């Protein structure tokens, strides 16, 4: 059975490492990106099974990444967000993603 690939997108390295460690111990193949631009490039190349995507990214933010990726494929995306971002989370749900 092929192992599922998960792309973690966050500009906070500590958070990436924490999520990466926990998912790797469960047997997932993990890819990472620190910016929206890197996320788009990685998703186009590797076609991950799931993308764990921070909403607040430098450059292209998580919602723009979601909109772009939805035009090329139908990825499963779970938005990761901090406190105080309820409005952005609602926008993410409207774009068809799953929340944290």
Q: Give residue-wise pLDDT tens across range 46-80.
A: 999 999 999 889 899 998 999 888 887 677 888 77
Instruction: Kindly list the structural domains of the chain, giving each domain's residue range(s) and its CATH number in brackets, ordered by start.
Output: 5-94 (3.40.50.2300)
23 by DSSP, 3-state: which? helix
Q: Are 78 and 99 in contact (CB under 8 A)?
A: yes
Place of tokens 């047997």: 27
Supply the pTM of this predicted model. Answer: 0.79
Indicate if the pLDDT at residue 81 is higher than 50.
yes
């Amino acid at each position: 059975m092929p192992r599922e690939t998960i792309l973690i997108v966050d500009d906070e390295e500590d958070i990436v490492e924490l999520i990466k460690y926990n998912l790797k111990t469960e047997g997932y193949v993990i890819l990472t990106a620190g910016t929206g631009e890197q996320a788009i490039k990685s998703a186009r190349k590797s076609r991950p099974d799931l993308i764990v995507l921070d909403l607040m990214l430098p450059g292209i933010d998580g919602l723009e990444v979601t909109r772009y990726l939805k035009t090329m494929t139908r990825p499963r995306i779970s938005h990761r967000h901090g406190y105080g971002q309820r409005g952005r989370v609602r926008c993410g749900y409207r774009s068809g993603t799953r929340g944290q």
